[in-house]
Every structure is written in C-alpha cells, then in structure tokens.
Amino acid sequence: MVDMIVIENETIYQKEALEDTHYRNCEIRFEDTEHFIRNVVFERCTFIYGDKHKWDIRDCTFKNCDLSLGGFEDSYLMNVTFDYCKLMSFSLHQCYLHNLLISNSMGQYFGISDSKIRSATFKSTPFHTASFMHLDHKNMTFHECRLDECNFEETRLKGIDLRSCEFSYILYSPHLVKGLKIRSDQAIIFAIQMGLEVDY
C-alpha cells in the first residue's frame, strides 16, 4: 500500500498525472490536456475545468467536493466514489464506468447519458431532472434516491430496482420498461403516464 502525500489549502495546476495524494481544501485547475489520476483522495476541493474534457481516473475518492458545472466526459472511470459531493449539472456523458459509487450527494441536472456502465450504485442522492438516457449497463442499482423528472429514455430498465426510490414523474421508453422493479404506488404513476384512467 502506497503512503499518500497530503496537500492542503493550495491551488493545484494539473498538467501531469495526479497520483498517491490526498488533497484537502484545494482548488484543482485542469489544463487543456488528457488527465490521468490514480489513487487520489480529493476532500473539500473545488474544480476548474479546461476546454478539453478527457480523463482516465482510477481508484479515487471525492469527499465533500464541489464538481458542479463541469464533468469528466468521454472518459474512463474505475473504482471511483463521489460521497457528499455537489454534482449539479455535472456530466459523465459518453464514459466507460466500472465500479462507480455516488452517495449522499446533490445531483440535480446530473448527466450520464450515452455511457457504458459495468457496475454503478446511486445511493441517497436527489437526481432531479437528471439524464440516464441511452445507457449500456450491467449491474446498475439505485437505493433511496429521489428521481423526479429523470430521463431514462432509450435505456433498458430490465433488472433495475426503484422500489426504495421516490419519484412523481419519470421519462422512459415503453418498449424498454419490461423487467423494471417498482412498488404498487409507483405503478400507478406509470399507468397514468401511459394515459390509463386509474381509480385509486
């Protein structure tokens, strides 16, 4: 196990790979280049993004960070955790995601569409108006999330379990809904969206 260097209260201009470091209360500024990040903990950090968005991020944890209004698009993430983070309007569009965890965070307008997911857990996070469109996924789980007005269009819902989640309305593709696990009260929402008259 490699010991981590601890860096606190600094502005970091990321031009080369970030490795084996614990950043606390730092501002991370990404240059316009490809980014390689390995075995890093970001704690209470903020991020400034360059124009070019492409990352290779492995074995990293983001704790209490503000990553809003940016993203890691067209990137590879493996064994990455976001815990108690601000992810408003944060994008993981067109990514390959293996063993992703997002928990206890703020995910309004979050976007993960057109990505390939090989194990992802979303836990105790509000995803109001988030986009989960057109996903190629295996082992994607939701636990106690708020999913109001989320968009799952063109995403296969077979095997997804939303019974612990809450939502008043979501978008989905009817031909891909078979196999979705929901509660009876949630089924009423789907029926109403399909134009059925439900007496309840």
**Taking the domains of the chain in order of start, what are their residue ranges?**
5-193
* Cα 4 to Cα 19: distance, rounded to the nearest angstrom: 9
Name the pLDDT band for 14 (thresholds 50, 70, 90): confident
- What would the two tokens of residue 177 be? 């809904």
Model confidence at 18, pLDDT cuts 50, 70, 90, reads: confident
Percentage of residues in the chain with pLDDT exceeding 90?
72
Q: Is the pLDDT of residue 199 over 70?
A: no
Rounded Cα distance between 173 and 192, Å, is: 15
| Helices of type H across 44-200 | 184-193
* Cβ contact 27:41 at 8 Å: no
Say what the pLDDT of residue 188 is: 82
Q: CA 196 to CA 200: how far, in whole Å? A: 12
- Here the contacts of 2-10 (C-beta below 8 Å, separation 24 or greater) are 2/39, 4/39, 4/41
In this prediction, residue 34 carries a pLDDT of 73
CATH number of 5-193: 2.160.20.80
25-81 pLDDT, tens per residue?
999 887 766 778 999 999 999 998 876 667 899 999 999 999 999 888 899 999 999
For residue 175, pLDDT over 70 is answered with yes
Beta carbons of 164 and 188 less than 8 angstroms apart: no
174 pLDDT above the threshold of 60: yes
Contact call for residues 158 and 175 (beta carbons, < 8 A):
no
Distance, in Å, from the CA atom of 149 to the CA atom of 56, rounded to the nearest integer, reads 31
Place of tokens 């490809």: 34
Q: How far is residue 14's CA from residue 28's CA, in Å, rounded to a whole number?
A: 7
Of residues 2 and 142, more confidently modeled: 142
| CA–CA dist 41, 37 (Å, integer) | 10
Q: How far apart are CA 61 and CA 18, in angstroms?
A: 13
Q: Is 37 helix (H, G, I), strand (E, B) or coil?
A: strand
pLDDT tens per residue, range 103-137: 999 999 999 999 999 999 999 999 999 999 999 99
